[in-house]
Structure 1
Amino acid sequence: MQKSEPKETTQLSNHEFSLMDEQAKNGDNESLQSVLEEMRPEITSLSGFLKLPKEEGIQEIMAQFIEEIRG
């Protein structure tokens, strides 16, 4: 059996994500956008648990996420 090569990912390390999160909390909109993009797969997955259409669920979770970061 042949070993498969690890897939390259664009995921950030915990340290990089923490720094980006901290910058987003301090008002850096570019960092906030990057955090949201990094969290997009999880947000999309979680939106399926809401009793809303998928896109509305995604928007609701993102809005709450932004409020939590900037709050």
Structure 2
Amino acid sequence: MKIYFISFVISVLMMALSSVAIYNITDHIDPPVTPEGHKYMPTENVAKALFLSIIIGAVTFISVVRILRRRPKK
């Protein structure tokens, strides 16, 4: 049970950090500005960041569980 809790905490932290990083990258690559120069709500960039951070969180959770389940070699 301890393995899953540690994996969950690490994956949530990774999701939070990756969502901020991905949002900043997508906001820089595709800024939310109309052709007239007006700014608008970047819902597309937010959706991209959330979707990719969920995928990264799942991969992180699975990886950490596998790493923590390895038995030490004798």
After TM superposition, the score normalised by the length of structure 1 is 0.38
- Which entry has the higher C-alpha Rg, 1 or 2? 2
Higher relative contact order (CA 8 A, sep 6+): 2
Q: Which has the higher helix share?
A: 2
